[in-house]
Structure 1
Amino acid sequence: MEAQGLTGEIPPCISNLSSLARIHLPNNGLSGGLTFTADVARLRYLNLSFNAISGEIPQGLGRLPNLSSLDLTSNNLHGRIPPLLGSSSALESVGLADNYLTGEIPLFLANASSLRYLSLKNNSLYGSIPAALFNSSTIREIYLRKNNLSGAIPPVTMFPSRITNLDLTTNSLSGGIPPSLANLSSLTALLAAQNQLQGSIPDFSKLSALQFLDLSYNNLSGAVNPSIYNMSSISFLGLANNNLEGMMPPDIGNTLPNIQVLMMSNNHFVGEIPKSLANASNMQFLYLANNSLRGVIPSFGLMTDLQVVMLYSNQLEAGDWAFLSSLKNCSNLLKLHFGENNLRGDMPSSVADLPKTLTSLALPSNYISGTIPLEIGNLSSMSLLYLDNNLLTGSIPHTLGQLNNLVVLSLSQNKFSGEIPQSIGNLNQLAELYLSENQPSGRIPTTLARCQQLLALNLSSNALTGSISGDMFVKLNQLSWLLDLSNNQFISSIPLEFGSLINLASLNISHNKLTGRIPSTLGSCVRLESLRVGGNLLEGSISQSLANLRGTKVLDFSENNLSVGGIFADRDKVFVQGNPHLCTNVPMDELTVCSASASKRKHKLIIPMLAVFSSIVLLSSILGLYFLIVNVLLKRKGKSNEHIDHSYMELKKLTYSDVSKATNKFSAGNIVGSGHFGTVYRGILDTEATMVAVKVFKLDQYGALDSFMAECKALKNIRHRNLVKVITACSTYDPMGSEFKALVFEYMANGSLESRLHTKFDRCGDLSLGERISIAFDIASALEYLHNQCIPPVVHCDLKPSNVLFNNDNVACVCGFGLARSIREYSSGTQSISRSMAGQGGLLGTCSW
């Protein structure tokens, strides 16, 4: 039976076709469950891959005596693999990858006498790998990647073995690499990355056919066995993210003539990069970052297929910069990253000779001096340019305006002078512009208003003058991460037009010469988390409209001429209980007096660290005014970099290595939830020791990539203290070169409302009336924000106890935007349409972590 274009459920009559020997129906739209009995005993070949079949695998499939090939790859199957599968001597090929199968690998399957091909990858299988699977006289290909398998890798005792491909990537395997694997003489691919393997790398000199070896993201230690560097057949060598040490052999480029991918980043390698590496003419991806390599970077001239070079975070030197000019022949070059090294001297004009295919050039945190060559404008495909934290001087070249594809431009912490060129306005794809801590003067170029895709703009700590143009920021209304104009010499008043930045998370205009009042329009910036206007000449009272800033965490009005009033005028409506760090220099009930050192500051003003304004909860005639939610932070004073909110710049730049390390290499023990399009892990970001929840998307599932893109688009502008915070997104590649997408959320440490209402959370099984009111108030605040303050409004559509989580302060936060819809009204005002914001599959499904 063969057909294409089928949809709907599989008809039950298939299981009654006693004469049927072959069912070949892949890549259709078949759904429903499977039912097979002994009536189809003649069935030999079953292929229903890439459908939408659900339910469990029928136990009857394990009793079909003639079944030789079974392929149910990429369906929605769950449950355990039938324990009798493999009991038939006819079974040769089993494909059950990309489902939701659980349980252990059945012993019958591991012992199948005729099995040649087994693919169980991307499921949720657990337990140890049966030793019999590695000691079969027939099996050739074993694919177990992306499961929850644990224990040691079994030793190989069957010789000669026929195994050619062994993929154990992304499990929780521990212990050492068995030396007996070195006896698999037919092996062409050994992939065991992203596990918890320890110890040293065995002698693999007998693996003369090996082409792919990936041991990245483990805990391997010691020097690399010399046999690794003498395997002439190797094209992919992955040793990244371990604790390996030693030096690269001087003849590595000659002993690995077929190498295409060399990944040795994030280890402890020392010494120089061998000059012979230049002879590896097939090289495409070179990763040696974050080691202790020194010496001059060698030539890349013979590597004409080179695409990516990552050498950042070492102690490498530029010499005469010949390595840069040698790259001009690499016609497929895409990414170069030489940041955080000891590169010195003037930036050479040869940077302009780099191939026009180049999309990313990163040279930050070096000692590069001189000016940026005007010819840099020839790199027309450039999307990312990082030259920050160097010693560059002169003016910012106007030719940067020719880089029409530029998305990120980072020139901060140099010595640029002169005016910012008007040509910067030609960069209509620009999303991030960082020019802080330089010496440019003059006004902000008016053409910057044309960069309408800007999400982050940092011009702080310069010598910019003039007034801040309100008209410009009306057009830059996509700013959502950061606007920092602090520590300049801007005059006049704060533009009323700042109120149009309704998506902005952080606004810093402190330490200028701004006068007048704080405009009431700032109350329209409802997503502000940080507002700093300190160190100016502002006067008057704080506007009542700022009470609309319900998600604000940091407010700094210090060092101005402000008077106490506005939202603080009516003491009877201001509640400040529960804020032990809040103090005042003006006598005020329920607030402590600030310390003497604080009281001596210039203006002796109360630092009104506004949190969340009071709100009234009416339950019945018995309950009246209940309580107020307050969120306050202390004022800050100091150097300019102390006033810059870096969270929107640093946390968002996560690498695959960062995410892997945060989740203990995607350990099964860190899993706190799983859905159709992703798995949620608990983790800790080393950058700030922050506990987070990481949703890793299953990009091999159809629709997962669309879901990731939709969620990013939908969630980038949603911020409220009663919504689970999206910290950042990670879009990169894994060590195998496959796409990797993840979203990082604030971790909710105190469980879900579902657990508190039931027996799972014993201590909250008897919530008091006050606690219930507080939770209801938090949820109502989140919904009021979504319905009335988001543009367009958002309807959650899936509000339930499991989608309400509690943070460290026991504040209830809503999550689970999988069914959320945005509402857009027609001009008539009488009709509306809705559209999905997060795509099918949702943000986290049920978020109960």
Structure 2
Amino acid sequence: MTATFVGYNSPTSSPSCLLGNETDRLALLEFKAKITQDPLMVMSSWNHSIHFCQWGGVTCGRRHQRVTVLNLQSSKLVGFISPHVGNLSFLKSLILLNNSFHNEIPIEIGRLHRLQFLRLANNTLSGEIPSNLSHCANLEVFHVSHNLLVGEIPATLSTLSKLQFFAIHKNNLTGSFPPSFGNLSFLEKISAVYNNLGGIIPDSFGQLTKLSFFGVGANNLVGIIPPSMFNLSSLRLFDVGFNQIQGNLPWGLGITLPNIEIFSIGRNQFTGSIPVSISNASNLDQLQLSENKLSGKVPSFEKLNRISMFSISSNNLGNGWADDLNFLCSLTNATYLTFLTIDSNNFGGELSKCIGNLSSLLTTLSLYDNKISGKISTQIGNLINMERLEMWNNKISGNIPFEIGKLNKLQSLDLSTNNFSGNIPSSLGNLTIVINLQLYANNLQGNIPLSLSNCRNLIELYLNNNNLSGSISPEVIGLSFSPIFLDLSSNHFTGILTKEVGNLKNLEFLNISENKLLGNIPTSLGSCVRLRIFSISGNLFQGIIPSTLESLRGLEQLDLSNNNLSGNIPKFLEHFHFLQFLDLSYNHFEGEVPIDGAFKNTSATLIKGNGKLCGGIAQFHLPKCKYNKFKKRKLTLTLKLIISILSGLLGVTIVVSLLLVCSLRKKRKENTSSDSRNLLLNISYQSLLNATNRFSSTNLIGVGSFGSVYKGILDHDGHTVAIKVLNLLRHGATKSFLAECQALRNIRHRNLVKVLTSCSGIDYQGHDFKALVYEFMKNGNLDEW
């Protein structure tokens, strides 16, 4: 061991220096021992083959060959910091940021009296900040942001007289700022955003004459900003946003902070007006005053030529007067402006044409929720980098400018709740990457332009509450884009809802209520399995509720009211466990009302205006269903008839079987020859689909216990048949199908209808399908007679 130890050092090294070297080497090995993962193998050189001063991340001083820097940043190391790091007594820089170190910060670091830079950011360190770090008297940089630290800021750190950089942001620290921090005369940066700090900003902070960066946003700070802080001419960043701070902004703000670049007080409780002097802060890059209680007229900003972000939204600014928006024209010199939001204020007056002269770099323009009138200038097309344009809830009128179609980087366009008129410009089809298009609550007319089918990234389309008319064409709905939210309600659309709606596989919200649509509810709608809210109320839809809607198990709201729908209320609605609102009122539904699921709650389910309904829970106050006894009687008579016929046939067969065997064989051949002309072997699902016009309700003859019977015309010979489609969800339907096939295959009687063939397979939704094809009885059935 002695020979190896000496080999690490020059022959002239003193014994005490050699001992210190060994201390450093052992401390480093202990540090390595606490590393559990080293995927980049940065510590692979930490072995006996080379001197520890040559190990990866280790730097030693020339004179004593002692470790002065341990820099392992961004090495993807996992483990915890060994307390033995405190034995590196010559250490000046400990840099471990951007790794996955956990556990607490070792208190032994407090023994490193020479330490100048402590950078432990972007790890998962927990526990409290050791108070004995105050012993690191030479510390200049303390950076522990992006960890899981808790507790208070130790007041003892205020003795670090050389401290310049103090960064604790994005932790879970509590308590308040120690007033003694105002004695850190060399402090240049305080970064403490995104913690749970409370209390006030100490008055003593106004003594930090070298402070250039003050970021304490997203905490729970209260009180006012110490007036002396607005005299810190060195300040470049001032961020107290997302707190509960009160008070007014000083009138000389732009004069006393001449170097300010970022000024952010958003989401607080500041009152008063915006200082006119702020225009003198010519270096200002970001001005964030939103979500306060500021009021009055907004001053001119003609000197803010470098500003890129300007936000004064959600205040009480403006008086509803004609000159409220004059300040916007003063921003036309701000050639770097990319973000401009003045929404949710009291601004009145007309929208100035100078909007089109704002910076071509502008990506966000938000003017919504004001009292702005006038028209949008055609020069809006100059803002070619616009990504988000929001003007909703104003009094803007006139046509939507065709030139908006030039903004081909637009992702969100919201002009809703205004007084726009005329047609929807076809140029909106040029907005091929638009995600959100909202034009609702205006006076728009005409058809939906077919060019909207080019907007293939459209997720939200709201055209409701206008005067739009015409049909909802397949080109617009269901072929080119797949929205999640589609609202076309309260217009004057006519025609049918096309089957292409079934192509909207991602659809969650569909509202086409209060129009003049007619026809059947498309069966293809059952493919929209993500649908949560569906409303067709106030139209002219007819027919039954398609059985395919059973696949919409995620429905939360279903409104079919005020139409001409008929038939029974489907039992499958009982199993829609997420259904919170169901309105079937004012239609022509009949029969028994289900009693489970949403039907248990009369406040969630509305069925009034259907005069032929019965049953249901008592709160619906409906008459009891009478057809149950009739059905049992009908079933009993049918069974008796079949048994009688079978018995009679069996007896006749036994008596005359020997006498008529030849005659029967001959007749069987004739019948076989005759039947062969009508028998349709291997008939397909597609043939039956065509024969019944896709099982249209207009071809429905009747509904039985195990299925529905349709009239159909076979496409290959025009033969009229009756097709019984089994409801395989009904218990016993499959057994009934097999029994009926077995019985009717061998039975012939003048009072029994003849079975021509059967179909057993899979439909186009992948579900089992079984059907029997009978001769059609022109004169009705036995029950009717």
For normalisation by structure 1, the TM-score amounts to 0.63
Q: In structure 1, what is the Cα distance between the partners aligned to 2:537 and 2:50?
A: 81
Is the contact between residue 503 and residue 528 of structure 2 (CA under 8 Å) also seen in structure 1? yes
Letter in 2 for 1:265: G
Q: In structure 1, what is the Cα distance between the partners aligned to 2:606 and 2:509?
A: 28
2:75 paired residue number: 75
Sequence identity, in percent?
36
For residue 339 of structure 1, report the CA deviation from its aligned partner.
0.3
Letter in 2 for 1:264: I
Letter in 1 for 2:440: S
1:44 paired residue number: 53
Is the contact between residue 507 and residue 531 of structure 1 (CA under 8 Å) also seen in structure 2? yes
CA 331–604 in structure 1, closer or farther in 2 if over 3 Å, else same: farther
Q: In structure 1, what is the Cα distance between the partners aligned to 2:348 and 2:361?
A: 26
1:411 paired residue number: 415
* Equivalent residue for 2:485, pick from 482, 486, 500: 482
1:641-680 paired onto structure 2 within 5 Å: none
1:590 paired residue number: 595
CA 589–278 in structure 1, closer or farther in 2 if over 3 Å, else same: closer
1:805 paired residue number: none
SS in 2 for 1:162: coil
1:768-779 paired onto structure 2 within 5 Å: none
Q: In structure 2, what is the Cα distance between the partners aligned to 1:505 and 1:132?
A: 58
SS in 2 for 1:514: strand
1:140 paired residue number: 140
* Equivalent residue for 2:40, pick from 13, 31, 35: 31
For residue 197 of structure 1, report the CA deviation from its aligned partner.
1.1
Is the contact between residue 455 and residue 481 of structure 2 (CA under 8 Å) also seen in structure 1? no
CA 135–297 in structure 1, closer or farther in 2 if over 3 Å, else same: farther
For residue 515 of structure 1, report the CA deviation from its aligned partner.
0.3
2:519 paired residue number: 516
For residue 38 of structure 1, report the CA deviation from its aligned partner.
8.2
Are residue 236 (structure 1) and residue 248 (structure 2) matched? no
For residue 604 of structure 1, report the CA deviation from its aligned partner.
6.0
Question: More helix per residue: 1 or 2?
Answer: 2
* Equivalent residue for 1:505, pick from 493, 505, 508: 508
CA 574–505 in structure 1, closer or farther in 2 if over 3 Å, else same: closer
* Equivalent residue for 1:491, pick from 482, 485, 494: 494
Equivalenced residues, count:
573
* Equivalent residue for 2:438, pick from 431, 434, 437: 434
* Equivalent residue for 1:375, pick from 365, 374, 379: 379
1:711 paired residue number: none
Letter in 1 for 2:230: Y
Q: In structure 2, what is the Cα distance between the partners aligned to 1:119 and 1:383?
A: 38
1:543 paired residue number: 546
SS in 2 for 1:449: helix
2:14 paired residue number: none
For residue 86 of structure 1, report the CA deviation from its aligned partner.
2.2
Q: In structure 2, what is the Cα distance between the partners aligned to 1:334 and 1:279?
A: 20
1:628 paired residue number: none
Letter in 1 for 2:40: S
Letter in 2 for 1:544: S
**Superposed CA RMSD:** 3.4
Letter in 1 for 2:456: Q
Deviations 1:345-394 (A, max 9, x none): 11111111111111110000000011111211111111110000001111
For residue 603 of structure 1, report the CA deviation from its aligned partner.
4.8
SS in 1 for 2:470: strand
2:474 paired residue number: 470
CA 604–119 in structure 1, closer or farther in 2 if over 3 Å, else same: farther
1:271 paired residue number: 272
Q: In structure 1, what is the Cα distance between the partners aligned to 2:119 and 2:412?
A: 41
Q: In structure 1, what is the Cα distance between the partners aligned to 2:52 and 2:606?
A: 87
Are residue 293 (structure 1) and residue 294 (structure 2) matched? yes
Letter in 1 for 2:565: L
Q: In structure 1, what is the Cα distance between the partners aligned to 2:386 and 2:518?
A: 41
Q: In structure 2, what is the Cα distance between the partners aligned to 1:144 and 1:30?
A: 23
For residue 290 of structure 1, report the CA deviation from its aligned partner.
0.2
2:630 paired residue number: none
5+ long unaligned stretches in structure 2 = 1-21, 29-37, 59-63, 586-590, 615-763, 766-785
CA 605–443 in structure 1, closer or farther in 2 if over 3 Å, else same: farther
CA 560–83 in structure 1, closer or farther in 2 if over 3 Å, else same: same
Q: In structure 1, what is the Cα distance between the partners aligned to 2:432 and 2:284?
A: 35
2:362 paired residue number: 358
Letter in 1 for 2:284: M
Is the contact between residue 120 and residue 143 of structure 1 (CA under 8 Å) also seen in structure 2? yes
Is the contact between residue 210 and residue 231 of structure 1 (CA under 8 Å) also seen in structure 2? yes
Letter in 2 for 1:96: L
Q: In structure 2, what is the Cα distance between the partners aligned to 1:596 and 1:381?
A: 50
For residue 163 of structure 1, report the CA deviation from its aligned partner.
0.9
1:561 paired residue number: 564
Q: In structure 1, what is the Cα distance between the partners aligned to 2:403 and 2:179?
A: 58
2:185 paired residue number: 185
1:397 paired residue number: 401
Letter in 2 for 1:141: V
Q: In structure 1, what is the Cα distance between the partners aligned to 2:41 and 2:557?
A: 52
Q: In structure 1, what is the Cα distance between the partners aligned to 2:510 and 2:178?
A: 56
Is the contact between residue 513 and residue 538 of structure 2 (CA under 8 Å) also seen in structure 1? yes
Q: In structure 2, what is the Cα distance between the partners aligned to 1:589 and 1:276?
A: 71
Is the contact between residue 512 and residue 536 of structure 2 (CA under 8 Å) also seen in structure 1? yes
Q: In structure 1, what is the Cα distance between the partners aligned to 2:416 and 2:453?
A: 20
Is the contact between residue 199 and residue 221 of structure 1 (CA under 8 Å) also seen in structure 2? yes
Letter in 2 for 1:523: G
Letter in 2 for 1:150: V
Q: Which has the larger radius of gyration?
A: 2
1:643 paired residue number: none
1:302 paired residue number: 303
1:613 paired residue number: none
CA 576–43 in structure 1, closer or farther in 2 if over 3 Å, else same: closer
CA 209–81 in structure 1, closer or farther in 2 if over 3 Å, else same: same
For residue 454 of structure 1, report the CA deviation from its aligned partner.
1.2
Are residue 340 (structure 1) and residue 344 (structure 2) matched? yes
* Equivalent residue for 2:457, pick from 437, 453, 457: 453
For residue 45 of structure 1, report the CA deviation from its aligned partner.
6.3
1:798-809 paired onto structure 2 within 5 Å: none
Q: In structure 2, what is the Cα distance between the partners aligned to 1:526 and 1:583?
A: 20
Letter in 1 for 2:503: S
CA 211–606 in structure 1, closer or farther in 2 if over 3 Å, else same: farther
CA 516–38 in structure 1, closer or farther in 2 if over 3 Å, else same: closer
Q: In structure 1, what is the Cα distance between the partners aligned to 2:198 and 2:222?
A: 7
For residue 598 of structure 1, report the CA deviation from its aligned partner.
7.8
For residue 120 of structure 1, report the CA deviation from its aligned partner.
0.9
Is the contact between residue 554 and residue 576 of structure 2 (CA under 8 Å) also seen in structure 1? no
Is the contact between residue 312 and residue 337 of structure 1 (CA under 8 Å) also seen in structure 2? yes
CA 494–108 in structure 1, closer or farther in 2 if over 3 Å, else same: same
Letter in 2 for 1:283: L
Deviations 1:180-226 (A, max 9, x none): 11111111111111111111111212211111000101111011111
Of 355-364 and 103-112, the range deviating more from structure 2 = 103-112
CA 68–43 in structure 1, closer or farther in 2 if over 3 Å, else same: farther
Is the contact between residue 307 and residue 334 of structure 1 (CA under 8 Å) also seen in structure 2? yes
SS in 2 for 1:243: coil
For residue 135 of structure 1, report the CA deviation from its aligned partner.
4.6
SS in 2 for 1:499: helix
Q: In structure 2, what is the Cα distance between the partners aligned to 1:580 and 1:447?
A: 37
For residue 552 of structure 1, report the CA deviation from its aligned partner.
2.9
Q: In structure 1, what is the Cα distance between the partners aligned to 2:171 and 2:104?
A: 13
Is the contact between residue 269 and residue 292 of structure 2 (CA under 8 Å) also seen in structure 1? yes
Q: In structure 2, what is the Cα distance between the partners aligned to 1:101 and 1:121?
A: 10
SS in 1 for 2:550: helix
2:102 paired residue number: 102
1:721-736 paired onto structure 2 within 5 Å: none
CA 402–523 in structure 1, closer or farther in 2 if over 3 Å, else same: same
CA 176–320 in structure 1, closer or farther in 2 if over 3 Å, else same: closer
1:125 paired residue number: 125
1:211-250 paired onto structure 2 within 5 Å: 211-250=212-251
Q: In structure 2, what is the Cα distance between the partners aligned to 1:584 and 1:40?
A: 84
